[in-house]
Amino acid sequence: MYKNVLQQIENVQVWPIISFVIFFLFFLFLLWYVFTADKRFIRYMKEMPLNEKNNTQSVNEKTSNT
């Protein structure tokens, strides 16, 4: 019974292709984001847990001063 469930769905061969395309587009978007992200913001976020200064200043103030 369970073996034939997917065979009864009309156009079932399209769904794996759609899933792959969605995954691939998401992966390309993440690669684009990583390579185009503001390096100062990434550096600030990376060092934030280690900062002993007062962390109440906004991110914009920190990144715009550099």
Please provide the DSSP assignment of the chain as one string.
Answer: -GGGTGGGSTTTTHHHHHHHHHHHHHHHHHHHHHHHS-HHHHHHHHHGGG--S-TTS-HHHHHH--
Percent of the chain with pLDDT over 70: 74
The mean per-residue pLDDT over the stretch 20-27 comes to 98
Range of the domain at 18: 14-49
pLDDT score recorded for residue 32: 96
pLDDT score recorded for residue 31: 96
The verdict on residue 31 lying in a domain is yes
Report the domain count for the chain. 1
Which pLDDT band holds residue 35 (cuts at 50, 70, 90)? Answer: very high
The verdict on residue 40 lying in a domain is yes
The mean per-residue pLDDT over the stretch 41-64 comes to 72
Residue 3: pLDDT over 80: no
The mean per-residue pLDDT over the stretch 8-13 comes to 82
